Amino acid sequence: MNYRLSAGRRLFLVSNYMFLTLLAFACLFPLLHVFALSLSSSHAVTAGKVWLIPVDFTLSSYKIVLSQKSFFVSFWISVKRVILGTSISMLLAVLAAYPLSRDQAQFRPRTVYAWFFVLSTMFSGGLIPLFMIVKSTHLLDTIWALVIPGAVNVFNIILLLNFFRSLPKELDDAAKIDGAGHLASLFRIYIPLSLASLATLTVFTVVGHWNSWFDGLIFMNSPDRYPLQSFLQTIVIKQDVSKLDYRQIEALSEVSARTNKAAQIFVATIPILLVYPFLQRYFVSGIVLGSVKE
């Protein structure tokens, strides 16, 4: 079949492709610019000569970040935090969302518990009560101080329960006829059908744990127990030279605060860039999590 596009259709496609290309470049430009800054000398950055291509190529900024043994210790702490925090948070989200997605006849106090979760997002006890709770439970200076306080993510629970509600009720009825209980229905029906949604929430949770730095500064008394972002905040942003040797202090003269921050951004985003391709095929379909389906 010989199909020929009209002039108006061709104009629309060309305009659409041009707009999307410009939009993609607008999204990539800041990343490319920061990457170029991280590989440029401090003199070139200060003079404003760096745009998309590094000027006076140097790896000094990355050497400062990677030269310390404590960097790799902090990196491993962040990896453990992401693994533990994401696993616990997603497990609790699934176990809480499933009963809250049931009908009133199946779970009568559903509305009470739902409002209990919602109200917790509107009020906060503050930083001091949180610190006192973590201290009284003997979680200070442990990995659990970075995982337990934020383990229950109400936002993920609400989105996931809305997705569970959108699934056909006939699947649940068929499972009951076959003798399946709630746990069997959850792990054999609801979770397999919700992989896209779970993958999307997993990406959000991983990014949240990986980028968090403030709680590490509060709950860890020793810099040796800092997660990666807290370590970079102390060493790179604040330039705490008391923890550097003479070679690293000498290398600091070759870099600037902007190049250090640029190196920090890319070092911190590498693990996320490695994880995302494995979840990409679920991410697009799961981005409509919680939407109304006909």
- CATH of residue 186's domain is 1.10.3720.10
Model-level pTM? 0.78
CA distance 194 to 97: 12
For the chain, what is the domain count?
2
pLDDT of residue 292: 45
27/135 same-domain check: no
Instruction: Indicate whether 292 belongs to any domain.
Output: no
- Report, in angstroms and rounded to the nearest whole number, the Rg of the chain calculated over CA atoms: 25
Instruction: Indicate whether 38 belongs to any domain.
Output: yes
Instruction: Indicate whether 280 belongs to any domain.
Output: yes
Instruction: Indicate whether 294 belongs to any domain.
Output: no
31/86 same-domain check: no
Q: What is the pLDDT along the chain (294 residues), one digit of tens a residue?
A: 556 778 888 888 899 999 999 998 998 888 888 889 889 888 888 888 888 889 888 888 888 777 778 788 888 999 999 999 999 999 999 999 999 998 888 888 888 898 888 888 888 778 899 999 999 999 999 999 999 999 999 999 998 988 898 888 888 888 888 888 888 889 888 998 888 888 888 888 998 999 898 999 999 988 888 998 888 777 655 555 555 555 655 555 556 677 877 887 788 778 877 777 776 666 666 555 555 444
pLDDT of residue 283: 64
Q: Quick check: helix, strand or coil at residue 142? A: coil
CA distance 104 to 88: 27
Cβ pair 150, 211 in contact under 8 A:
no
pLDDT of residue 134: 94
Q: What are the Cα distances from residue 54, in Å, to 49, 86, 232, 236?
A: 9, 36, 23, 20
CA distance 245 to 67: 10
CA distance 50 to 36: 7
pLDDT of residue 86: 95
83/103 same-domain check: yes
The three-point CA angle 62-63-67 to 5° equals: 125
CA distance 94 to 101: 10
Instruction: Indicate whether 116 belongs to any domain.
Output: yes
Cβ pair 77, 226 in contact under 8 A:
yes
227/124 same-domain check: yes
Cβ pair 256, 55 in contact under 8 A:
no
DSSP assignment letter at 225: G
49/65 same-domain check: no
Q: Which residues span the domain enclosing 241?
A: 61-286
Instruction: Indicate whether 2 belongs to any domain.
Output: no
163/80 same-domain check: yes
For the chain, report the end-to-end CA distance as a whole number of angstroms: 35
pLDDT of residue 287: 55
Q: Tokens 């109304």 sit at which residue?
A: 292
pLDDT of residue 83: 95
Instruction: Indicate whether 197 belongs to any domain.
Output: yes
